[in-house]
């Protein structure tokens, strides 16, 4: 079973490529993917800040990643992608749980998620509450499901 670990310096390019492969898995065309690239890019500064976690087997390449950004009581699950060949192995669930642990460690009581429509059922299964549709962070005029996840029971404001 792959271990969950912090992303390492120098992995941003490989993690960005993983995000792109995972997003493209849903059949989006090349023009759509080009527009998404800035939103799918993992930043070395976020890795250095300890905000990116990966699932990997030993010293092998990352199979999945999650990124938690923000400060204060509400943080955002920014990226969560599983490499298509590794899908169906429970990595998404394990990374979501690791992300909630990281968010709690950062002092957050809530985590927001701007989800791809294909991932919406996963987040609902994990217990996230649909709040509304919100503007896409990548595609002008597109709206996406926006969720909230309580990190501490009863913390909802």
Q: What is the pLDDT of residue 125?
A: 96
The pTM of the full predicted model, rounded to 2 decimals, is 0.93
Measured at the alpha carbon of residue 3, what is the angle toward residues 72 and 46, in degrees to the nearest 5? 35
Architecture of the domain delimited by 3-150: 3-Layer(aba) Sandwich (3.40)
- What pLDDT, in 10s, does the model give residues 115-137? 999 999 999 999 999 999 999 98
- What pLDDT, in 10s, does the model give residues 46-85? 999 999 999 999 989 999 999 999 999 999 999 999 999 9
Q: What is the pLDDT of residue 148?
A: 97
Q: Where are the domains of the chain?
A: 3-150
Rounded to an integer, what is the distance from CA 20 to the centroid of its chain? Answer: 12
* Residue 107 DSSP code: T
Region 15-44 average pLDDT: 96
User: In 52-128, where do the E strands start and end?
Assistant: 52-56, 62-69, 74-82, 110-114
């Amino acid at each position: 079973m792959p271990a969950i670990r912090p992303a390492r310096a120098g992995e941003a390019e490989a993690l960005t490529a993983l995000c792109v492969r995972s997003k493209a898995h849903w059949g989006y065309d090349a023009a759509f993917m080009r527009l998404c690239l800035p939103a799918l890019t993992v930043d070395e500064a976020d890795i250095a800040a300890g905000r990116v976690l990966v699932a990997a087997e030993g010293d092998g390449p990352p199979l999945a990643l999650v990124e938690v950004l923000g400060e204060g009581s509400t943080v955002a699950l920014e990226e969560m992608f599983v490499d298509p060949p590794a899908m169906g192995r429970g990595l998404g669930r394990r990374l979501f749980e690791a992300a909630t642990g990281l968010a709690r460690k950062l002092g957050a009581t809530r985590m927001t998620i701007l989800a791809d429509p294909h991932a919406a059922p996963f987040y609902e299964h994990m217990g996230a509450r649909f709040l509304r549709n919100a503007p896409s962070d990548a595609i002008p005029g597109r709206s996406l499901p926006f969720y909230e996840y309580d990190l501490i029971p009863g913390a909802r404001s």
